[in-house]
Structure formats: structure tokens, C-alpha cells
């Protein structure tokens, strides 16, 4: 298998359009992690991601008759731009089906490269189904984003360049994983020449389809309602069939990271390169950091796979980066609502740098403070919590509490004594013009809304925290109603952030 793929990689035609990207030293990361860290800069491609390689190689291998028919693809991101640019270069007509919630910056980028854009559905699955229909109706050639031999070979040229550019045999290469095209191509080439080099996949928590497949020994399809939406470039429910054939034999390990770790990695990439990687683009760095915390390696490579990030997302990313770097802790602390207690608590924190401090006077005997503070390591955070506990404070660690970080931090003090019967849910819905009105029209039809917090993060999906005037006895009926509406939701009634700051 490897020899066949190596021949295809060496014969691929990607350099008619794609560029050989540099492999650069990351001195700050190297010093901090105790290993030589090299970054493979696929963000420097003409479409700012590696996807151009596979798309172009696939189309360049097509027959004259196939090229004349035209191509079609379903994508909301980097694959769409890669197909559009490759098709324009080869003089092939291209149609790209994208979800209606695709950010305008991506739609405009694809159109600017000459492709016809069809907006359909609210996500990839609906866009893909419509693309399949158009492909059959119009006789177009489908360009798969990852599960295609020629696409895999095109992506494999990344591995060929790493081998040619590295000064020796690296101990490990960290690769972001969505459907598996990039890691399959890299593993095929690298393992043929350097069988001792570890090829390690990195996946986002919630979209770890390769990790699940490796554990099960077969391809596993993740439930759509649990898919991670933050690192949308790798939000794939099932690893490809052809890509898994390679990965199950030649990928050594898979690391799974969370949103905060990804945001911390985006900051690391920026500090090293002054480039802002997209969440999927920084995934390999996040996994590399976690892996090196437990393994001693001398020389590693991380693939920066793309830099197509919406500017509006940077606010949210910067808020989460310090937590991802384990340099910030988010705590809920209960203090006495008596004269001097506020000052006493501030003195208990000492000279520690405070990143966030939210407090509102309460008529009860207790007050709750939402506080963020800089820490040097997880052990430092634990020491702060222990110290506050010894001083008599009740402390809840909310560093990993999604509802607290997405919503509650902006709502501290928003209590409503009249909302005695209230059920709280966190929603995610496709973000597009009119989407918020549609969401409200759906959820507000039967139960009164007692709480509502929405904040645009510049992503393809909006995130909303909603309270309903409903008693616990109505929960089952409400949940059935919400399921019929069709938006993904999470119940937050017992979330300590809600209990302490909003109820």
C-alpha cells in the first residue's frame, strides 16, 4: 500500500499551482516545551490552506472528457476555495454547494475565484445531499474533500516536503484530522521512509471520529448532535473509508483537545509567526503541547493547516486563549454580604493578577463573585482554590464550564426574583440573516421566555442561552417540544454558574 501511494505522491501535479511551503523553527514553543518544534506552514498557500493540493491533483488527473463535464463539491470552507482555484487554473467549470449559514467572507472568496456558488441547507450534510443531486442531474464530477486516492496523494506532498526540508528524522509529526485525507497522505509517505517517526493525529473534542474508529477497530459515525462546531474545518462525523485504511495501520496515536486548548494554540502560532491560524489550523499545535507534557521527544513537527478565520471570531478566541494555555482560572466564590467582606476577599486574593471580576450586591446574606485570575499551572489554580477554602470561602471551579464562559460571564447580576419556575437551555443554531428571528419564532411559541442571551461569535453557528417559564414537572413536555424544533440544545438547569449568578 505505501509504495503505491508514494509513487502517486511523487507523481502528483500539485506544484503547477500549489507552493512548497516552509518548515520553520518555533523558538518560543521549543524553549517552553523542551523540544525542537518546527511548524509546517500550509497557511501560506494561495488559498491559505493545504486543501489546494488535493483538489488540484484530483482535477489534473481527470480525463479531458471529465474535465469538460465540470466539477462539483460540497464545502463551507477551505476545500471550496481549493476546488475553485484549481478549477479556474485548469479551465474547468466548478459548482460549490455551501450551507446558507456559511459566513459571507468564505462565500465571497469562492465566488471571487470563479466558481458558481449554490447556497442550500443549514450545514454540510444538507449541502452534500444537494450536491449529490446536482451531480447526478448535470453529470458533474464530484471532488471529495478527503476520501479519494488522488486527493490523498495530493495532500501527501505535505509529508514529502517535511521529509525533504527537515534536517533529520523527526521524532513525531502532528497532523490535524477531519476526514483524514491529510494525515493519510502524510503517513503514507513518511512511514515509507521513516518508519520510526510517529505520525500523530489531533482531533477536536466532539469531532474525534478517527480516535473513535481506532478504539473500535472500525469506522464509527459520531452523532450529529454532538459534533464540535468550533473547529469547523475538521467537524466530520466519520473518517473516510480509504483514509482509515491507511490511518489504522500507520497512524501511531490520536490526541483529542478541547476548545480552550485550541484557542491557546492559536495564540502560540500568532506569537511565533504573527499569523492567525483558524481553529482547525492550530489543532496540531494544541495536540503537540498536550502530547509533549507526557512524552519526552527531541524533535517534532506540527502542521499549520490553514488560516481562513473570520475576524469576528477573534474576540471569542482571545477570551479563551489564556484558559487554554492554563494561565487563567475562572472561579465562582461565595462571600458574606456584610460590610467589609468585599475588601476582605480582595485581600485574600493578594497581588495575583485579576483578569475578570463580576459582582452585584445581593439582598440576601450571601453574594457570589465571578472572578478570573492568572495562574502559572494547574497546580497553582488548585493552591488558590485550597487557600480560599481554608479561609472559609465556598469556591466552584468554572474553568471548564461552557455555559459560564460563553454566556454567564456577561450576565452576572441578572437575577429575577419573579422567575420562580424556570428551566434553562443552551442552544446552537445555524447563523445566517434572519436566523435569530426564526429561532425566536420557534422557541417562543408556547412557553414564555424568562432569560435570553445571544452573542455573535462570527462563527457559522449562533449560541444562545434561554430560560423558559416552566416548572420541573413540565420538563419532559418542554424537551419534546424543543426536539421537534430541530436545533441542537443542552440542558443547563443544574449548572452551578446558573445557580450562583442568575437564579
Is residue 438 over pLDDT 80?
Answer: no
Residue 490, C-alpha cell as written in the block: 443542552
The number of beta carbons lying within 10 Å of the beta carbon of residue 139 is 11
Quote the pLDDT of residue 365: 77
Q: Hunting for cell 471551579 — which residue is that?
A: 397
pLDDT at res. 445 = 59
Query: In the chain, what are the domain boundaries?
Result: 1-324, 326-400, 408-501
Interstrand relation of 366-374 and 328-336 (parallel, antiparallel or unpaired): antiparallel
What pLDDT was estimated at residue 322?
A: 72
What is residue 274's predicted lDDT score, i.e. its pLDDT? 95
The span from the CA of 12 to the CA of 49, in Å, is 18
Q: Given the DSSP bridges, would you call strands 23-25 and 36-41 parallel, antiparallel or unpaired?
A: antiparallel
At 432 the pLDDT is 65
* H helix and E strand count, the chain: 20, 18
Quick one: pLDDT at residue 310? 80
- 67 and 54 in contact (C-beta within 8 Å)? no
Average pLDDT over residues 318-332: 79
- Would you say the pTM of this structure is higher than 0.75? yes
For residue 145, give the nearest of 219, 71, 89, 214 by alpha carbon. Answer: 71
Residues 405, 376: Cα–Cα separation, whole Å: 20
Give the Cα separation of 56 and 69 in Å (integer).
16
Res. 135 pLDDT band, cuts 50 70 90: very high
- d(CA 383, CA 114) in angstroms, rounded, equals 57
Which of these is catalytic: 12, 55, 207, 305?
305
Q: Considering only 14-18, 38-42, 356-360, 399-403, which range has the smallest mean pLDDT?
A: 356-360
Q: What is the DSSP letter of 359?
A: -
Pick the closest to residue 197 from 206, 184, 208, 186 (CA basis). Answer: 186
Could you tell me what percentage of the chain is helix, strand and coil, using 3-state DSSP and rounding each to the nearest 5?
45, 20, 35
Q: Tell me: the pLDDT tens digits for 218-247? A: 999 998 777 877 888 888 889 999 999 999
Q: Determine whether 446 is exposed, middle or buried from the number of CB atoms within 10 Å of its CB (0-12, 13-18, 19+).
A: exposed
Lowest-confidence region among 187-196, 257-266, 269-278, 310-319? 310-319
Q: What is the pLDDT of residues 91-110, one digit of tens each?
A: 999 999 988 777 777 788 89
The topology under which CATH files domain 326-400 is 3.40.1020
Locate cell 493578577: which residue? 353
Identify the pLDDT of residue 82: 95
At 293 the pLDDT is 93
| 324 has pLDDT over 70 | no
Do the first three CATH levels of 326-400 and 408-501 match, i.e. the same topology?
Answer: yes
**CATH annotation of 1-324:** 3.40.50.1100
> pLDDT, tens digit, for every residue of 405-429?
888 877 776 666 666 788 889 988 7
Are the C-beta atoms of 186 and 175 separated by less than 8 Å? yes
Closest CA relative to residue 252, chosen from 297, 305, 207, 205:
297
The set of residues, in sequence order, having a beta carbon less than 8 Å from that of 433 and lying 6+ positions away, is none
Q: What is the pLDDT of residues 379-398, one digit of tens each?
A: 788 888 898 998 989 999 98
Sheet of 423-430: strand order equals 449-455, 461-468, 423-430, 488-491
Answer whether 221's CB lies under 8 Å from 238's CB.
Answer: yes
Looking at the DSSP bridge assignments, the partners of residue 358 are 370
Burial of 239 (0-12, 13-18, 19+ CB in 10 A): buried
Query: How much is the average pLDDT of 71-81?
Result: 90
**Is the predicted pLDDT of residue 197 greater than 90, yes or no?**
yes
Q: What is the per-residue pLDDT for 461?
A: 74
Residues 6 or more apart whose CB falls under 8 angstroms from that of 130 comprise 74, 97, 118, 120, 121
Q: Is the pLDDT of residue 444 over 70?
A: no
CB of 366 closer than 8 Å to CB of 334: yes
Please say if 40 is a catalytic residue: no
Band the pLDDT of 368: cuts 50, 70, 90. Answer: confident
Report the first-to-last Cα separation within the chain, whole angstroms. 60
Burial class of residue 116 (count of CB atoms within 10 Å of its CB; 0-12, 13-18, 19+): middle
Predicted pLDDT at 342: 73
User: What pLDDT does 455 receive?
Assistant: 65
Stronger pLDDT, 292 or 417, i.e. the higher one: 292
Q: Provide the β-strand partners of residue 374.
A: 328
Closest CA to 419 of 365, 493, 478: 493
Residue 458 has pLDDT above 70, yes or no: no
Question: Which of the listed ranges 137-146, 333-342, 489-498 does the model predict with the highest average pLDDT?
Answer: 137-146
> So what's the pLDDT on residue 281?
95
Per-residue pLDDT band for 376 (boundaries 50, 70, 90) equals: confident
Please tell me which residue in 51, 128, 267, 289 is annotated as part of the active site. 51
Q: Where are the alpha helices (DSSP H) in 139-256?
A: 149-165, 181-193, 209-216, 241-250
Nearest to 214 by CA among 173, 269, 255: 255
Calculate the CA dihedral of residues 159, 165, 171, 177 and round it to 10 degrees. -30
Task: Give me the CATH topology for the region 408-501.
Answer: 3.40.1020
Mean pLDDT of the chain: 88
Site of grid cell 507534557: 293
Q: Which residue has the cell 475578570?
A: 356
pLDDT in tens, 232-291: 888 888 999 999 999 999 999 999 999 999 999 999 999 999 999 999 999 999 999 999
Burial class (CB in 10 A: 0-12, 13-18, 19+), 378: exposed
**Distance in angstroms (rounded) separating the CA atoms of residues 265 and 346:** 31
Q: How confident is the model at residue 435 (pLDDT cuts 50, 70, 90)?
A: low
- Give me the half-sphere count of Cα atoms (radius 13 Å) on the Cβ side of residue 74: 18
Whether the CB-CB separation of 458 and 313 falls below 8 Å is answered with yes
| Residue 267: per-residue pLDDT | 94
The CA radius of gyration of the chain, in Å to the nearest whole number, is 25
CA–CA distance, 311 with 92 (Å, rounded to integer): 31
Alpha carbon dihedral 72, 74, 75, 81, in 10-degree steps, equals 0
Please check whether residue 185 is in contact with residue 152, taking contact to mean a CB–CB distance below 8 angstroms. Answer: yes
Amino acid at each position: 500500500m505505501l509504495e503505491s501511494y508514494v509513487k502517486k505522491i511523487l507523481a502528483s501535479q500539485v506544484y503547477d499551482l500549489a507552493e512548497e511551503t516552509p518548515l520553520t523553527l518555533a523558538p518560543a514553543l521549543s524553549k517552553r516545551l523542551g523540544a525542537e518544534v518546527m511548524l509546517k506552514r500550509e497557511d501560506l498557500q494561495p488559498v491559505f490552506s493545504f486543501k489546494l493540493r488535493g483538489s488540484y491533483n484530483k482535477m489534473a488527473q481527470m480525463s479531458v472528457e471529465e474535465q469538460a463535464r465540470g466539477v462539483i463539491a460540497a464545502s463551507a470552507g477551505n476545500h471550496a476555495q481549493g476546488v475553485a482555484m484549481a478549477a479556474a487554473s485548469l479551465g474547468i467549470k466548478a459548482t460549490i454547494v455551501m450551507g446558507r449559514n456559511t459566513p459571507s467572507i468564505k462565500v465571497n472568496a469562492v465566488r471571487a475565484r470563479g466558481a458558481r456558488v449554490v447556497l442550500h441547507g443549514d450545514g454540510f450534510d444538507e449541502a452534500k445531499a444537494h450536491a449529490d443531486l446536482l451531480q447526478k442531474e448535470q453529470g458533474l464530477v464530484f471532488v471529495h474533500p478527503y476520501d479519494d486516492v488522488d486527493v490523498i496523494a495530493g495532500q501527501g506532498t505535505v509529508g514529502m516536503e517535511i521529509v525533504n526540508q527537515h534536517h533529520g528524522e523527526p521524532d513525531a509529526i502532528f497532523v490535524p484530522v477531519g476526514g483524514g485525507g491529510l494525515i493519510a497522505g502524510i503517513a503514507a509517505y513518511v512511514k515509507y521512509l521513516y518508519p520510526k517517526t510517529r505520525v500523530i493525529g489531533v482531533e477536536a473534542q466532539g469531532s474525534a471520529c478517527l480516535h473513535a474508529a481506532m478504539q473500535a477497530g472500525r469506522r464509527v459515525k459520531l452523532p450529529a448532535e454532538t459534533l464540535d462546531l468550533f473547529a469547523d474545518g475538521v467537524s466530520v462525523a466519520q473518517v473516510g473509508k480509504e483514509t482509515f485504511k491507511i490511518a489504522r495501520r500507520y497512524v501511531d496515536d490520536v490526541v483529542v483537545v478541547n476548545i480552550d486548548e485550541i484557542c491557546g494554540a492559536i495564540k502560540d502560532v500568532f506569537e511565533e509567526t504573527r499569523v492567525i491560524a483558524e481553529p482547525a489550523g492550530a489543532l496540531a499545535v494544541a495536540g503537540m503541547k498536550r502530547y509533549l507534557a507526557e512524552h519526552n521527544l527531541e524533535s517534532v513537527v506540527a502542521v499549520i493547516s490553514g488560516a481562513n478565520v473570520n475576524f469576528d471570531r477573534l474576540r471569542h478566541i482571545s477570551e479563551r486563549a489564556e484558559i487554554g494555555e492554563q494561565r487563567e482560572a475562572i472561579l465562582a466564590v461565595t462571600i458574606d454580604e456584610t460590610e467589609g467582606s468585599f475588601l476582605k476577599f480582595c485581600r485574600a486574593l493578594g497581588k495575583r493578577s485579576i483578569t475578570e471580576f463580576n459582582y452585584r450586591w445581593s439582598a440576601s446574606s450571601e453574594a457570589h463573585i465571578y472572578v478570573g485570575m492568572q495562574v502559572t499551572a494547574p497546580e497553582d489554580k488548585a493552591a488558590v482554590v485550597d487557600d480560599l477554602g481554608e479561609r472559609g470561602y465556598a469556591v466552584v471551579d468554572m474553568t471548564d464550564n461552557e455555559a459560564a464562559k460563553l454566556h454567564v460571564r456577561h450576565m452576572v447580576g441578572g437575577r429575577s426574583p419573579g422567575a420562580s419556575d424556570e428551566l434553562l437551555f443552551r442552544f446552537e443554531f445555524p447563523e445566517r440573516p434572519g436566523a435569530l428571528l426564526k429561532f425566536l419564532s420557534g422557541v417562543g411559541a408556547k412557553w414564555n421566555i424568562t432569560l435570553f442571551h445571544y452573542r455573535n461569535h462570527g462563527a457559522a453557528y449562533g449560541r444562545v442561552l434561554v430560560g423558559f417559564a416552566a416548572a420541573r414537572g413540565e420538563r419532559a413536555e418542554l424537551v419534546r417540544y424543543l426536539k421537534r424544533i430541530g436545533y441542537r440544545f443542552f440542558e443547563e438547569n443544574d449548572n452551578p454558574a446558573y445557580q450562583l449568578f442568575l437564579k
